[in-house]
Chains A and B, each alone.
Chain A
Amino acid sequence: MSASSALPEEPHIQPRPGRGSGSPRRHLRPVDAPARRRRPQTVYGLTAIIGVVLIVAAQLFFSIASTQTTHHIVNLTEQQRALTIEAQALFDQVAGLSSPQYLAANATSAGMISAGSPVFLRLSDAAVLGTASAESTSTIDAKGRAAVGNDLIKNTPLVMDPSATITGQTAPVTAPEASTEGAGGTASDATPAEGSVATETELPQQPPAISEGLPTPETR
């Protein structure tokens, strides 16, 4: 008997629900070709890397530079210290040389005197105000009778008369420097030379006699 299956054939495909039916409709569409994956731009990466390298390099450079400057500063500070000490030593040498007693003693050695009352010449009418007088005696003796002392230059010889000091006495002989580095040493308190007799003061030079008005130079 050919009793074939009497079952009805089941459709393989589900019946497609028609439009307007209740179940949600899934939207399917064919897949596009995937978007082409672009290569990441090397520019940005390079920039980032180069930037980092630059930053590190700059930091290295600055720290080296500041160290150099620090060395430079230390050098300069050392120089400044040495120069300050040198300036101090030089100041000690010249302290007192511009004091009035030293200048006056030198001036007296050169024959200058301090005398006479002030006289003025008025240029507008060539009038002489005051009473002029020719003086030959000094009102003070700044070298032979020097009474205003200065301990800083008590042994410094006068410029105009190296054999005397402001006290009018013979300048002591400077002791020979015993140390090997005797650079710019001041004369130590060595014993003054024997015979501290006052050197004979030279008489101040007499001014030339004026008999016929002021001497005038020859002009052509």
Chain B
Amino acid sequence: MTPKDTRIRRRRTVAVFGTVSVLMVAFSVRLVDIQVVNASEYVAESKLKTQQSKPIAGTRGEIVDANGAVLAVSNVTYDAVIDPLNLNTVFRLAKDGTKIPLAEEWPAVSEKIAAIIGVPGEEIRSTVANNFADNPNSQYALLTTGLSTAQMEQLKGLAIPYLAMPSHESRTYPDGAVAGSVIGFTGTDPEKGTVFPQAGVESMENACLTPTAGSQTFQMGGNGEVIPGSMTETPAVNGGTVQLTIDRDLNWYLQQMIAEEAQSKGAQSGTVTVVEVATGKIRAAAEWPTVDPNNIDGSNPNDWYGHIFKDLFEPGSTFKAATAAMLLESGAATPMSTVSASGWEEFPNGARVGDSFSHDTYNYTLAGALIDSSNVALSKFGDLMTPEARHDFLAKFGVGSKTAVNFDGEQAGVLHPADQWDNQTHYATTFGQAFQVTAPQVASFYQMIANDGVKKPLQLVESCTAADGTVTTPKVPADERLLSEQNASQLSTMIENVAEQGGVADLIKIPGYRIAAKTGTAQTYDEATQAYKSDLYDVSVVGYAPADDPKYVVIVTLKEPTTVRSSTAAAPAFQKAMTQVLKHYRVMPSQTPFTDLLPKFG
């Protein structure tokens, strides 16, 4: 080869390679431009055109009782929806031109549907006809909501093409009205079809119970099919489980018992609240009348939101123990201090106070004043302290502030400042009138006495367990010592003497156990007449057992009993309630006998 040939060949090679490399560079630049520089733009554009996402709903959490029994759980219900445009459109043409329907006629079908969903056939047909008349283009006529899964399966079995059964979340309460007012209830948002809370724990603990929706993202091809491999899923997070301190079985018994008792005594309503002494946990909150969250329309709207945390009443004689407590704690008196009191007295400031029974002038000891529940004696004892001091002690004992439960709609009660007390209020506050409390506040006060003077805040919610297993307990305020141990012990002995020597001693006796209890008969205020009602009282009995080592506080209230009008009306209910509590929790009978009998007079 000649050098010239070689040169020519080399030039051709260079030329070819040069062209190829130029092309390659061009392509590379373009590639980098597409894949790196403008990548996000193009990806976003493609996603806009093909990406779809579908939300995945989570399940609302359960509510369970102290032992794990389910009180509220999520369920599925279905609607029945007809497409009015497409009724009877499936037919075939016969040879002579007549239309032969392939499916049954609408009236026959509507009767079949009626039999399953429990709505009369007439109503179904008229609903659909009206829907069609109102809007000829409508393809949605709602027949009914709230169908069960079994009914949905039956409707599916009918194989009607223009009948759809969209599903909705709903809530089921397997135990019905047991603790119904505490659990609360939910409603269904008609637009979104989701469940939203309306009362009680469902509302209070909604943050724990609400699920987090997930989503399913995928890319759709031109014909509407999902492009394989493009589906990504963010799983939904179910709602957490709320555990209450309430004991379901105990709550049922107390609800049944107080309903029977309230009805036999002709009372308007009744409640029982049980508080565990050592922990302040509410083990039962029973009331009658109450609400069944499965069917709130079956009960009076007044009862939907519960009474225990909302109903205010003047406690009456049960808060004489509070006066005794503040006298002991401030050192103004001892259990053996005496005052002279008659059955009815007019005080220097013009106030008039009378006892529930007439008697001569006695030299009542503080213990005796509690045992005989003498208003006059307590009024005189109350004068050993300033009204401001008494007011501050009442506030310290919880009157006028909500309990730590902070229930949905809980009332704080009413306690007027000392400088607003008139001459009658000055004395009435010593025997539990002229201020208002709720039953849990009274129970909390007695829990403090039973717990050697240390108040443990009331607690209704035990914990919230999230779907991944994390357990969170509610923030409960710190314990408070309100009475010294010695004073609490002396006060407890006095209250046990009330149970032993007082008027209802025989009615509340529980064989084998030492009981400490106090009754209360309080006048009820009538808003209409702006005066106390005559001969109608809010009665209550509060106590704890066993008195030698208290475990549970029980308060029973009856509103305006008519067959027996004093606190004797609530005494049998208290005895039954306390017996059941002791039995339910297998509390050992009292080992040491009661020996500390205190004299009534000194």
User: Which A residues have a C-beta under 8 Å from some C-beta of B?
Assistant: 85, 88-89, 91-93, 95-96, 98-101, 104, 114, 116-120, 129-131, 133, 139-142, 145-153, 177-186, 188-190
Contacts and interface: CB of A to CB of B under 8 A. Distances in A.
Interface in B542-582: 576, 579-580, 582
Nearest to B156: A181
B399 interface: no
A85 B149 contact: yes
A207 B530 CA distance: 55
B172 A140 contact: no
Nearest to A144: B260
Contacts of B511: 117, 130-131, 133
Interface of B: 75-76, 111-112, 115-118, 148-154, 157-158, 172-178, 248-249, 252-253, 255-257, 259-260, 263, 288, 290, 292, 294-295, 298, 510-513, 576, 579-580, 582-583, 586-589, 591
A152 B257 contact: no
A120 B176 contact: no
A79 to B, nearest CB: 16
A98 B153 contact: no
B259 A150 contact: no
A150 B263 CA distance: 20
Nearest to A96: B174
Given A130-B512, A145-B260, A180-B157, A152 B178 contact: no
Contacts of B177: 101, 148-150
A116 B298 CA distance: 34
B116 A178 contact: yes
Contacts, number: 160
Contacts of A89: 148-150, 153
Contact of A104 (B151, B152, B256, B290): B256
B223 to A, nearest CB: 19
Contacts of A120: 588-589
A204 to B, nearest CB: 16
Given A88-B76, A117-B511, A101 B582 contact: no
A117 B509 CA distance: 10
Contacts of A151: 176, 292, 294-295, 298
Given A118-B582, A140-B253, A185-B151, A129 B589 contact: yes
27 contacts: A96-B174, A99-B175, A99-B176, A104-B252, A104-B256, A116-B579, A117-B513, A120-B589, A130-B511, A130-B513, A133-B511, A140-B256, A147-B260, A148-B177, A150-B292, A151-B294, A152-B172, A152-B173, A152-B294, A178-B116, A180-B157, A181-B154, A181-B157, A182-B154, A183-B154, A188-B117, A188-B151
Contacts of B153: 85, 89, 181, 183
Nearest to A133: B511
Contacts of A140: 253, 256-257, 260, 576
B249 A100 contact: yes
B118 A188 contact: yes
Contact of B115 (A96, A129, A142, A177): A177
A179 B154 contact: yes
A148 B256 contact: yes
